[in-house]
């Protein structure tokens, strides 16, 4: 009996410590993910290649052949994680703001285990049709692949969802 009480106390202490540490670390890092350049920018010459005037060349190539976006951009390695926050893990309907830490966590998992860049998009849309319209506005070509920015759309924490559109 004493042993069980000690175990319960240890678990409570661990849970309290995890809660405090999770809040402190999320606040300290201000989230889990960030955008970061993967190209060298050592001087203005590099910037001229990656932005203007150099960026015009891949734009022209993509304008002639939209599939060239896979060669000249990160499009083929970027997905969107779309959620309205209405079915988040064991938390239920917590809304898009409160769901963002979970979607950032999913983006972290995509990067860690698949090397895929994922962008969490938490939207204030409650009806499935509204969510589809939001995605269509972000990705007007999603119903007629290929899409313009993302290689896939991952619907997460939305009732009735477990879909990936590629």
User: Is residue 26 in a domain?
Assistant: no
- Rounded to the nearest angstrom, the gap between the alpha carbon of residue 139 and the centroid of all alpha carbons in its chain is 15
- Rounded to the nearest angstrom, the gap between the alpha carbon of residue 79 and the centroid of all alpha carbons in its chain is 7
User: Is residue 33 in a domain?
Assistant: no
What is the CATH number for 159?
A: 3.40.50.10380
Question: In this predicted model, what pLDDT tens digit does every residue of 44-100 receive, in sequence order?
Answer: 999 999 999 999 999 999 999 988 988 999 988 999 999 999 989 889 999 999 999
Residue 101 to residue 73: CA distance in whole angstroms: 27
pTM check: above 0.85: no
**Residues β-bridged to residue 78:** 117
User: Is residue 48 in a domain?
Assistant: yes
141 and 108 share one domain = yes
67 and 134 share one domain = no
Q: What is the mean pLDDT of the chain?
A: 85
100 and 65 share one domain = no
Residue 118 to residue 108: CA distance in whole angstroms: 8
User: Is residue 58 in a domain?
Assistant: yes
The residues carrying an active-site annotation are: 51, 106
The parent domain of residue 124 ranges over 75-165
81 and 138 share one domain = yes
Handedness of CA 69, 73, 76, 81 (dihedral sign): negative
How many structural domains compose the chain? 2
Q: Report the run of H or E that residue 54 belongs to, with start and end.
A: none
User: Kindly report the CA angle at 122 between 155 and 154, in degrees rounded to 5?
Assistant: 20
User: Is residue 86 in a domain?
Assistant: yes
Query: What are the start-end ranges of the E strands in the chain?
Result: 78-83, 117-122, 152-155, 164-165
Give the lowest-confidence range in 116-120, 133-137, 140-144: 140-144
Dihedral through CA 7, CA 10, CA 15, CA 18, nearest 10? -140
């Amino acid at each position: 009996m004493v042993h069980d009480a000690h175990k319960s106390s240890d678990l409570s202490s661990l849970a309290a410590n995890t809660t405090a540490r999770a809040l402190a670390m999320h606040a300290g890092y201000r989230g889990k993910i960030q955008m970061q350049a993967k190209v060298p920018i050592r001087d203005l010459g590099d910037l001229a290649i990656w932005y203007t005037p150099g960026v015009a060349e891949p734009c022209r190539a993509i304008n002639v052949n939209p599939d060239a976006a896979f060669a000249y951009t990160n499009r083929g390695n970027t997905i969107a994680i779309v959620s309205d926050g209405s079915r988040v893990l064991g938390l239920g309907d917590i809304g898009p703001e409160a769901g963002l830490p979970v979607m950032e966590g999913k983006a972290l998992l995509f990067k860690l285990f698949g090397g895929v860049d994922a962008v969490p998009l938490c939207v204030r849309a409650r009806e499935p049709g509204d969510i589809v319209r939001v995605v269509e506005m972000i990705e007007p070509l999603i119903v007629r692949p290929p899409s313009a920015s993302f290689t896939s759309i991952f619907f997460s924490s939305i009732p009735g969802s477990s879909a990936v559109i590629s």
